[in-house]
A and B are shown apart, each in its own frame.
Chain A
Amino acid sequence: MTAVLPREAPPTEPAAEQEAEARAARRRPPWLLLLPGLLWLALFFLVPMLTLASTSLQTGSLQTGYSLTWTWSTYSDAWSTYGDQLVRSFLYAGSATVLALLIGYPLAYAIAFKAGRWRNLMLVLVIAPFFTSFLIRTLAWKIVLADQGWVVGALQWIGLLGENGRLLATPAAVVLGLTYNFLPFMVLPLYASLEKIDPRLLEAATDLYATPARAFWAVTWPLSIPGVVAGTLLTFIPAAGDYVNVQFLGNPGSQMIGNVIQSRFLTVLDYPVAAALSITVMLTVLVLVLSYVRRVGAKELL
């Protein structure tokens, strides 16, 4: 077999030269492959981020036009006016992420280890609800959580909700909606990392007299960390910027920062403040994500 492979012949002088040349060629970026995509990302991702940053430091109005005045006070004004919404966004997104992990992990675990021949079916079922539009499903929650609905009725009956207690238009409904909407983004990466675990490792742990709980915390959980990191990020990031769940399931007092950015940009047309808030969200998410990834030590994600 090796005889027919000329490249495995002992390297002579010119061959070595060719080898070096080939290596140099491999070090050169494959521009034809990269350029179209990179240009698109530069033009429509990097440049807009710069115009967004610049807009946040401008003054003016849509009628008179904007000019860059380096008005940093826009940021402090925006933070003091919309501090509540900023904090609330990260709180709601954080709660939804923890909830999604708590209910998503057992589901991913069940699919990976307990489902047997139902595994593919269960995987399809995780994704299937998402073929119905995101907005329509969130509206459906409005029906489920309605004041006259059976969920509220049942909770009132067992006493978890008072006589006039309600679910719709409360922060709980918003967190429930966020958890619901981003759950598959939690389950799929979790499943992917759980499925890779060699069952012999668990057998080895049991042979060494580990209780099932001990085996889980010593073997399964550490090996599933990459999935936990990917899943929590994929849940937290979109949840932090969402404004649909608040609009449909929340109340004016449970507004998140996405609602503010949306209305400042599209209704009030107050571009500098909206841009300052967007940059704040972006930087906060980046800092949170980077420190989290560094702390958990799953750098291969980036």
Chain B
Amino acid sequence: MIVRTVRAARKHLVLAFGVLVLLYLFLPVFVVVAFSFNDPAGRFNFSWSGFTLDSWRDPCSVPGMCDSVLLSLQIGVIATLVATLLGTLLAFGLVRHSFRGRAGTSLLVFLPMATPEVVMGASLLTLFVNAGVATGFWTIVIAHILFTVSFVVVTVKARLAGFDSRLEEAAMDLYADEWQTFRRITLPLAAPGIFAGALLAFALSFDDFIITNFNSGNTITFPMYVWGAAQRGVPPEVNVIGTGMFLLALLLVGGAEVVRKARTGASTG
């Protein structure tokens, strides 16, 4: 009896502690959402001074902010496309082939993830300065492709590692040629990994500040805008964008879960 109550307490204790940690993770999000409805008295949106919907009515009225969001979206899309392509190819090469130099290749893919972002940003800046390349839109894109590629490789590799290669052999035995096998069997099976890798790459690119700060020149991405605004007072409209991003991402995740449930439900039932 005592043992059972102790066990129950322990079970709920860990769970309760976990929920507390989740609350810690969410605390700033609540603040961001709440202060998007604030009507700040001065330039700084740091203390609560009244409820208003003004910032939600026209968030783009703040000069430059929505342009910076658009720019971040553009950079994110281009960087994601290239990084996903390069990373997927690398992952296939590393998982499907055993060749001399594979360990070295893996190390080269791993190293960017083990490099602090300041160092990576600084090293790229010295490259661009030495090569006489003016920093701006394309240098940001180059930097973002670089630091997201490794994450795509890791994600796609994880998917390919749990892959039953007998499915491909079966397709070949049924007289599918290599291209057909790839298109009809390999690609659909690898797709969730590639998609996850692309999403991760986009999220990392869209939110990156530290590397971007070194290679942006006069180009202002959304994180660069927030950094600049932090010195002179962040308008509540920034919180509107932050809240919007959060809701959009939740919708995407929720939607994906619903689709996944519907699919598994359809195939089992």
Contact = CB atoms under 8 A, between A and B. Distances in A.
Interface residues of B, number: 91
Contacts of B51: none
Nearest to A51: B126
A137 B146 contact: no
A36 B152 CA distance: 14
Contacts of A106: 14, 17-18, 21
Interface string B47-82: 100000000000000000000000000000000000
Chain A interface helix/strand/loop/mixed: helix
Given A106-B21, A143-B35, A265 B122 contact: yes
Contact of B89 (A34, A126, A244): A34
Interface in A215-253: 233, 237-238, 240-244, 247-248
Contact of A243 (B93, B100, B118, B243): B118
Interface in A1-53: 4-5, 26-30, 32-34, 36-38, 40-42, 44-49, 51-52
B114 A233 contact: yes
B93 A278 contact: no
B18 A133 contact: no
B155 to A, nearest CB: 12
A204 interface: no
Interface in A52-95: 52, 54-55
Interface in B83-116: 85-87, 89-90, 92-94, 96-102, 105-116
Chain B interface helix/strand/loop/mixed: helix
A114 B117 contact: no
B222 interface: yes
Contacts of A130: 203, 207
Contacts, number: 264
Nearest to B238: A136
A180 B23 CA distance: 11
B25 interface: yes
Nearest to A241: B116
Given A29-B100, A133-B222, A146 B86 contact: no
Contacts of B149: 37, 40-41
Contact of B10 (A139, A143, A212, A286): A212
Interface in A170-201: 180, 183-184
13 contacts: A36-B86, A41-B108, A106-B18, A106-B21, A129-B25, A132-B246, A142-B46, A144-B27, A146-B46, A237-B114, A237-B116, A258-B116, A279-B119
